[in-house]
Amino acid sequence: MAKRTDINKILLIGSGPIIIGQAAEFDYSGTQGAKALKEEGYEVILVNSNPATIMTDPEIADKTYIEPLTTKILEKIIQKERPDALLPTLGGQTSLNLAIGLYEKGILDKYNVKMIGANYEAIKKAEDRELFKQAMEKIGLKMPKSAVVKTMAEAVEIMDWIGFPVIIRPSFTLGGTGGSIAYNADEFISKVKSGLEASPISEVLLEESVIGWKEFEMEVMRDKNDNCVIICSIENFDPMGVHTGDSITIAPAMTLTDKEYQMLRDYSIAVIREIGVETGGSNVQFSQNPETGEFYVIEMNPRVSRSSALASKATGFPIAKIAAKLAVGYTLDELPNDITKETPASFEPTIDYIVTKIPRFDFAKFPEADQTLTTMMKSVGEVMAIGRTFKESFQKALRSLELGKYGFYAKLENASDEEIKEKIIRPTPERVWYIAEAFRRGYTIDEVHQMSHIDKWFLNQIKEIIDLEKEIASKTLGTIDADLLEKAKQWGFSDRELARLLKTSEEKIREKRIDVSYKVVDTCAAEFKAFTPYYYSSYESLVGKVEEDGSIKLYRDSEN
Amino acid sequence: MKKKVIILGSGPNRIGQGVEFDYACVHCVWALREEGYEAIMVNCNPETVSTDYDTSDKLFFEPIVYEDVVNIIESEKPVGVVVQFGGQTPLKLAVPLQNAGINILGTSPESIDIAEDRERFRDLIIQLDLKQPESGIAKSKEEAVLIAEKIGYPVLVRPSYVLGGRAMRLVYDTAELLEYIEEAVYVTEDKPLLIDKFLEDAVELDVDAVSDGEDVLVGAVMEHIEEAGIHSGDSATCIPPYTLEDQLIEKVKEHTKKLARALNVYGLMNVQFAVKDDEIYVIEVNPRASRTVPFVSKAIGYPLAKIASKIIVGKKLKEIVPEVFEIKEKHPASDFVSKEFKRYSIKEVVFPWTRFPNVDPLLGPEMKSTGEVMGIDKDFGLAFYKAQSAAGQDLPEEGNVFISVADKDKPKIIQMAKDLQNLGFKIYATKGTYNFLKENGVDAVLTSKLSEERPNIVDKIRNGEIQLIINTPSGKRERSDAYYIRRAAVMHKVPYFTTVRGAYAAVEAIKSYKEKGLDVMAIQDMNL
């Protein structure tokens, strides 16, 4: 075992109050990290201003400071505690920014605190646009074409090189004010002009638009011996243009060919190596041109992120815990997988189910706010659901949202066709229900794809659900046969939805339908025995077992 | 075989139901495991500690709706289900689950219903000889006007049936009431309007207590920094109360205990009170974990949710925390600590204003905050300073303060303005406030409103010439100067306060900070 012995005391910084874009996932990762480090015998000093967290419970760290997260306060804590190391990658962007601040102000050097996990250079390289672009060029990966211009003449010169549509972002304006998209040369001139005016230093960033492209994320981990593993691939149901945090996402990626998946795997590993995250997890985002299949790198987070919390829950692989152990010198092959106890953490998780994440919004509290989903995150929470099929997983996630909707039905019968179209073209939190309604009205997959740019595979799945819904609605509780009811449950229809379609009560459906089965999340698709009792429900088909007397017993397997 | 208990989680985070409830659920899981039960967690939120498979004995990653929950119960056959820690999500299921013959552990759904049903709750208050603000239920527009006039303005109005968006509003006169009814709600026989007397300028209190059916211990009496009218989830809160007499706080504790016994609470309970002219009014009772439970637990050093969880599986407070019963002289604001306890804990909240550029960044009766922070210090001012700093508002030590307040607030700011001047700040004001300050002997610099000559006040904020803003709303919601001032403050990160009490606390904080500076201390080193 190669645990570092040159450090004893480790400082962890939490992510502060829950804000949009930085929520409870960092309590999960920080708590895991602190527990993992303590388990290894290190003294853990924790700072977080948020009392509503498990990580700030007195038993989690050795010393817990519920103090403001500012460099001034952190310096006082460092001065008092004299930690040997700072692990900045488990507390979101807040923690990373504070680590950068402490480094740049010379405070880490002054008190001889080493950064572990990701060092200053790696963080800078991942966060600085220009440095990141250069790094990607170096390893031959493409990014959306972009350039910074200070005059109209410069802008016009590169207009054709970037092509249309082009995104115009004025530099140093607050909250993205003055940003716009130009679809043609005329618009380009006027929008660049107002962008330059909006920017206090008269500068705009021109960027090739990838709106409508497909979007993927890869969770990758690396150890100090340069071993890399991919924990999970995630595909966004909503195409580029909607922030990942506001997108419905699916794990694993559904619409990649194996060849494409292997490419993304290689790219992700190349990115984490080039950026130089020495140990720990990173999240790399890609977009894919649906016409040509070409991939662009969008960004990488050199830290544990919202997506890694999701990936951990989706696979059973505890990214934050492993990241903490890698940071103190372990390698992936030295760390056992808690779930199987037999396999090491260097085994990439395999999953035999589908995971759907849907964000939860709270616009009711802000009636004046624009509900259009854009590149600025607006959701306040999320749900995840696990199913054996995409359909089951997705429908379970819909009812998990607690919006009074138990599937794809949202009382939209009276919506006009214009409204349906408008709500499919312009992404809002209700888009999936409008898509379902469009299929009820006979819209084709091509039509909905044209409006939404959502991949046709996803749309086809929803259409199949609606087609089955129609079939069920033509029956009654008395006339529906067992096979159809079983199929409906396997496709994730809730009892409530079935009761609505069959004009009966939830209780009556419950009496008639098959029993649920529980399956284990085991990181290995049942290749090894699982020791952790982490379950999800599904509806199994009947299997037969030959009894001693030669008779066959039929049953539905459940693992709980 | 260990007995099984199922704990229902809080589902997706949303405004009003956040990470605090996951914290309480995790504590419940830990407590039940300690007591020898097999703790089974059900939740569908991937962001949380409760859905870490390391937390519970068994984790079911499932929707928290009737169908999926009953499936798990039928399959696992637990001795009971816990619904009091996950907020409204599991609470909504309490009655349906009980009707299905499932054992709900802790406070009964019947008690929860008494607390939530207006009529039944009113009867209880009368029976216990406590006070509530006057209220009424209007089934028509005409009735609403009659009731409001009888109770007397201002009144808080809200539809009994809320369908997204516009809900509660503070109304100052009949014209405003009619306007609200016209634009926001339908008032009908089956969707009546709820009308409550609004206790203007009252001090609001929150109390978290834990009860085992015999003993009731008050975790803490908290005083809201902002005056009545601000949602308790959006109010900054202080433990212990900082402006009230000990005698009154003791009375609040008594009232809380009366309510806990009457409602037969097993586990946690939260009560909200308002104090006006030394009268104590009960605003609301929730016999379940509240969002302040983690904050209180950290302030007093006792994990309330864990204690409550042990109660609901049959333990008594005297067994769980015997030492608490030994305390000779208890603190007026908490049964868990002695009179010697000298520390202020202040909770402050954060808002998503920067994400929503068209929204007025103003506190009101609807909750809008997404998260919270805590500041701890022996000095009230420093605790408030830390809480502000943690929430992203570093209070200034010097510079210019812009003051613009509603007429009703003007007399209350004279002392504050003088204090600010003594601290070395220069005061800027627009005409109304400027004239008022002048008449009362406070020097100020006249600055122009948005409609007057430029540079106006918003220009000054944008140019970094204003370091602190005190701006209270006049009551009516409108796109006035005040709106643009508040938006500019948010976008340029200038600390601003929209209540008089909040502003006073800020002045206190600046004073303490300038005199003493900040110090840090680990919670493990705090001498409880």
* B473 lies in the same domain as B501: yes
- The residue from B342, B372, B395 where one domain ends is B342
**pLDDT for position B184:** 66
Phi, psi of A297, deg, nearest 5: -85, 130
**B294: nearest CA partner in chain A:** A52
Confidence of residue B502 (pLDDT cuts 50, 70, 90): very high
Residues A505-527: b if buried by 16+ CB within 10 A, e if exposed = ebeebbebbeebbbbbbbbbeee
Q: Does residue B129 form part of some domain?
A: no
Quick check: is B478 in a domain?
yes
B318 SS3 class: helix
Q: What is the mean pLDDT of residues B273-291?
A: 95
Write down the pTM of the prediction.
0.94
A318–B371 C-beta distance less than 8 A: no
Do residue B217 and residue B335 come from a single domain? yes
> Phi first, then psi: what are they for A66, rounded to 5°?
-95, 85
Of A90, A93, A92, A119, the closest CA to residue A32 belongs to A90
Mutate to test the interface with B, among A12, A13, A28 (most CBs of B within 10 A): A28
Q: Which of A385-394, A445-454, B185-194, B252-261 has the lowest mean pLDDT?
A: B185-194
Which of A54, A64, A314 minimises the CB distance to B522? A64
pLDDT in tens, A33-73: 999 999 999 999 999 999 999 999 999 999 999 999 999 99
List of chain B residues whose C-beta atoms are within 8 Å of the C-beta of residue A51:
294-295, 298, 347, 372-374
Contact B58 A510 (CB under 8 A): no
B485 & B362 share domain: yes
Q: Do A68 and B15 touch (CB under 8 A)?
A: no
Q: Are residues B262 and B372 in the same domain?
A: no
Query: What band does B165 get if pLDDT is binned at 50, 70 and 90?
Result: very low
Query: Is residue B182 scored above 90 in pLDDT?
Result: no
State the smallest CA–CA distance between residue A359 and chain B in angstroms: 8
Q: What angle do CA A105, B523, B18 make, to 5 degrees?
A: 85
Residues B316 and B380 grouped into a single domain = no
A-B Cβ pairs (cutoff 8 Å, strict): 271
* Lowest mean per-residue pLDDT among A200-209, A257-266, B245-254: A200-209
Over residues B182-204, mean pLDDT:
83
pLDDT bracket for residue A453 (50, 70, 90)? very high
Q: Looking at the structure, do residues B392 and B497 belong to the same domain, yes or no?
A: yes
Instruction: Judge if B81 and B144 occupy the same domain.
Output: no
CATH code of residue B38: 3.40.50.20
Q: Give B444→chain A minimum CA distance, Å.
A: 31
- The DSSP result for B200-261, as a single string, is TTPEEEEEEEEEESS-EEEEEEEEESSPTTS-GGGS-EEES-SSS-HHHHHHHHHHHHHHHH
DSSP state of A524: B
Q: What is the mean pLDDT of residues A261-287?
A: 96
DSSP sequence for B467-510: SEEEE---SS--SSHHHHHHHHHHHTT--EESSHHHHHHHHHHH
Report how far residue B470's alpha carbon sits from residue B499's, in angstroms, rounded to the nearest whole number.
8
Domain boundary among B342, B365, B385: B342
pLDDT at position A168 over 80: yes
Residue A264 contacts residue A252 (beta carbons within 8 Å): no
pLDDT tens-place string over residues A368-427: 889 999 888 899 999 999 999 999 999 999 999 999 999 999 999 999 999 999 999 999
Q: What is the mean pLDDT of chain B?
A: 93
Sheet with B58-61: strands ordered across: A517-520, A534-538, B58-61, B38-43, B4-8, B80-82
Residues B47 and B166 both lie in one domain: no
CB-nearest to B48 from A24, A364, A385 is A24
Q: Which domain holds residue B419?
A: 352-516
Q: Quick one: pLDDT at residue A461?
A: 98
Q: Are residues B482 and B356 in the same domain?
A: yes
CATH number of residue B451's parent domain? 3.40.50.1380
Q: Which of A402, A509, A521 to mutate to test the interface with B (most CBs of B within 10 A)?
A: A402
Q: What CA–CA distance (Å, rounded) separates B373 from B347?
A: 6
Rounded (5°) CA angle B60-B62-B66: 115
Asked if A67's CB is within 8 angstroms of B63's CB, the reply is no
In a domain, B247, yes or no: yes
Residues B176 and B302 occupy one common structural domain: no
Contacts of B20 in chain A (CB under 8 A): 52
d(CA A15, CA A139): 32
The chain-wide mean pLDDT, for chain A, equals: 93
CA distance A459 to A461: 5
**Contact list, B306 vs chain A (CB under 8 Å):** none
- Nearest CA distance, A248 vs chain B (angstrom): 13
ipTM of predicted assembly, 2 dp: 0.94
The domain spanning residue B176 has which CATH number?
3.30.1490.20
pLDDT digits (tens, 9 = 90+) for A104-122: 999 999 999 999 999 999 9
Shortest distance between the Cα of B367 and any Cα of chain A, in A, equals: 7
With H, G, I as helix, E, B as strand and everything else as coil, classify residue A17: coil
pLDDT, residue B228, reads 87
Q: Which of A125-129, B13-17, B380-384, B464-468 has the lowest mean pLDDT?
A: A125-129
Q: Considering the domain boundaries, does residue B17 fall inside one? A: yes
In a shared domain, residues B277 and B307: yes
* Residues ≥6 apart with Cβ < 8 Å to B40: B4, B5, B6, B7, B56, B57, B58, B59, B60, B72, B76, B78
Q: What is the CATH number of the domain that holds B230?
A: 3.30.470.20
Closest CA to A207 of A151, A176, A164: A164
pLDDT of B206: 97
The residues that bridge with B350 in the sheet, in sequence order, are B371
Distance from the A265 Cα atom to the nearest Cα atom in chain B, whole angstroms: 24
A360/B72 touch (CB, cutoff 8 Å), yes or no: no
User: Residues B59, B163: one domain?
Assistant: no
Q: What are the tens digits of pLDDT across the range B328-349?
A: 999 999 999 999 999 999 999 9
B132 backbone dihedrals φ, ψ, rounded to 5°: -135, 150
Cβ of A494 within 8 Å of Cβ of B523? The answer is no
Residue ending a domain, among B342, B377, B411, is B342
User: A276 burial class (0-12, 13-18, 19+ CB within 10 angstroms)?
Assistant: middle
C-alpha distance from residue B129 to each of A219, B113, B250 (Å) = 61, 20, 17
Q: Is residue B523 part of a domain?
A: no
Distance CA(A65)–CA(A48), nearest Å, equals 6
Residue B279, number of CB atoms within 10 A of its CB: 11
Which three-class secondary structure state does DSSP give residue A267?
Answer: helix
Q: Which range has highest mean pLDDT (A147-161, B26-40, B166-180)?
A: B26-40
- Cβ–Cβ under 8 Å, residues B426 and B399: yes
Classify residue A541 by its DSSP letter: P
- Model confidence pLDDT, tens digit, residues A216-259: 999 999 999 999 999 999 999 999 989 999 999 999 999 999 99
- Answer for the pair B205, B279: CB distance below 8 angstroms, yes or no: no
**Lookup result for tokens 């202020």:** B344
pLDDT for the residue B197: 93
Domains in chain B: how many in total? 4
Q: Is residue B123 part of a domain?
A: no
Listed in sequence order, the residues at least 6 apart from A478 whose beta carbon sits closer than 8 Å to its beta carbon are none
Query: What token pair was written down for A294?
Result: 């070409």
Does residue B91 lie within any of the structural domains? yes
- Minimal C-alpha gap between B442 and chain A (Å): 34
Question: In which band, very low, low, confident or very high, does the pLDDT at B358 lie, cut at 50, 70 and 90?
Answer: confident
Nearest-by-Cβ selection for B355 from A23, A318, A378 = A378
pLDDT in tens, B9-26: 999 999 999 999 999 999
Average pLDDT over residues B129-138: 93
Which helix H or strand E contains A317, and what residues bound it? none
What pLDDT was estimated at residue B168? 79
- Specify if B528 maps to a domain: no
